[in-house]
Amino acid sequence: MKKIVVLTGAGMSAESGIDTFRDSGGLWDKYPVEQVATPEGYHANPQLVLDFYNTRRKELLTVSPNEGHKILGELEKHFKVTIITQNVDDLHERGGSSDVIHLHGELTKVCSTDSPNDSRFIKELEPDNYEVKMGDLAGDGSQLRPYIVWFGEPVPKIEVAIDIVRKADIFIIIGTSMNVYPAAGLLHYVPQSVPVYLIDPKQVNVSRAGVHIIQKGASEGMRLLKKKLLQE
Mean pLDDT of the chain: 92
Identify the pLDDT of residue 63. Answer: 94
Identify the pLDDT of residue 23. Answer: 45
Instruction: For residue 128, give the DSSP letter.
Output: G
Region of 200 (left: φ > 0; alpha: ψ -120 to 50; beta: rest) is beta
Catalytic residues: 104
Identify the pLDDT of residue 221. Answer: 97
Domains and CATH numbers, the chain: 1-18+66-104+155-232 (3.40.50.1220), 19-62+108-148 (3.30.1600.10)
pLDDT in tens, 59-84: 899 999 999 999 999 999 999 999 99
Q: Give the number of other Cβ atoms within 10 Å of residue 134's Cβ.
A: 9
Q: Which of 47, 58, 71 is nearest to 108 (CA)?
A: 58
Q: Is 18 in contact with 86 (CB distance < 8 Å)? A: no
| Average pLDDT over every residue of 210-225 | 96
Q: How confident is the model at residue 232 (pLDDT cuts 50, 70, 90)?
A: confident
Q: How confident is the model at residue 87 (pLDDT cuts 50, 70, 90)?
A: very high
pLDDT in tens, 148-182: 999 999 999 999 999 999 999 999 999 998 888 89
